[in-house]
Amino acid sequence: MSIFDRVLITGGAGMLATALRRTLEKRGVKTHVLDRAGCDVTDERAVDDVFELRRPTLVLNCAAYTKVDLAEQEMEVANRINGTGAENLARGCAASGTKLVHFSTDYVFDGTLRRPLRPDDPVGPQSAYGKSKLLGERAIQRVTGLDFLILRTAWLYGSNGPNFVKTMINVAKAGKPLRVINDQFGTPTYTLDLAAATLELLDRDADGIWHLTNGGETNWYDFARAIFQEWRLAPDLQPTTSEAWKKQRPDSATRPAYSVLDVTPFEKAVDHPMRGWRDALAAFKAEVDRSGTF
């Protein structure tokens, strides 16, 4: 039996779930993609019912609360989805001998180390969102007998969901001025590339915690500049600092100043490392041009 015999994807309405489904279907792998109505991961009984009905051999957990700023006011909701939800799926997987892939975030780090972050580096999330994602990681690791893969990624964008690229394009086309932070560093990651990398690890029966992003690093301001170069837009774009942004938006979440993830273990383990972030952005633009929509 292959783990790809019966694949279940939670959080089916989002960007990453869409990318994973598309990538698996290109391999000829059929998937059951469930949105919140199909599987509310915070409801233990609902999760048990899904396992009984679908009997999955592999669960790809894309169900997540991702509204980073709003999580500061909705911490309990974020904790239920990102923490309790992950634990419910982990228990279901352990009970049925199912592999679990769970996606986490660079925001579990505090951003004080100024080098690419390894999976075993100390964590210290500064935001409610980051804390909720760390809850999920730790809940998964506590479940006895579970075969799991925790994949930390960063700055996701792609089709079929809100993200920084779409926001920048929409604001620029509306003719509004843009002030974008230039002192937070990370790596933009294209969902289709992340999906392909996930399957690379599954093909090698990897487990534990891995870091997966496109290559290189940038800051939000330079990322925005690259977006406008690809889309041939010339908005009123100016840099700003995290401190100035926080003064204007005191309720916004604190994000790590440096959260570039070390992907060296992945690059050593696979035949096809993820391309650089700038090339990935160009590939996304080409995808948008082909489809005619975001």
pLDDT (tens digit per residue) in 205-253: 999 999 999 999 999 999 999 999 999 999 999 999 999 999 999 999 9
Q: For residue 135, how far is the Cα from the chain centroid?
A: 16
CA distances (Å), 84 to each of 9, 21, 98, in order?
17, 24, 18
Name the packing angle between helices 220-231 and 164-173 (round to 10°).
Answer: 60
Task: Find the catalytic residue in 65, 107, 129, 157.
Answer: 129
Q: Over the range 228-259, which residues count as b (16 or more CB within 10 Å of their CB) and which as e? A: bebbeeebebebbebeebeeeeeeebbbbbbb
pLDDT for residue 293 is more than 80: no
The answer to whether the beta carbons of residues 148 and 90 sit under 8 Å apart is yes
Residue 42: helix, strand or coil by DSSP?
A: coil
Angle, helix 220-231 to helix 277-291, in steps of 10 degrees: 40
- What is the average pLDDT across 19-47? 95
Per-residue pLDDT at 13:
86
129 is catalytic: yes
Instruction: Return d(Cα 166, Cα 174) in angstroms, integer.
Output: 12
pLDDT recorded at residue 294: 75
Average pLDDT of every residue of the chain: 96
Give domain limits for the chain: 7-220+250-291
Identity of the amino acid at 101: V
DSSP single-letter state for residue 215: B
pLDDT at 272 over 90: no
202 neighbors 57 (Cβ within 8 angstroms) = no
Please give the class, per CATH, of domain 7-220+250-291. alpha beta
Instruction: Assess contact for 223 and 237: CB atoms under 8 A.
Output: no
pTM of the model: 0.97
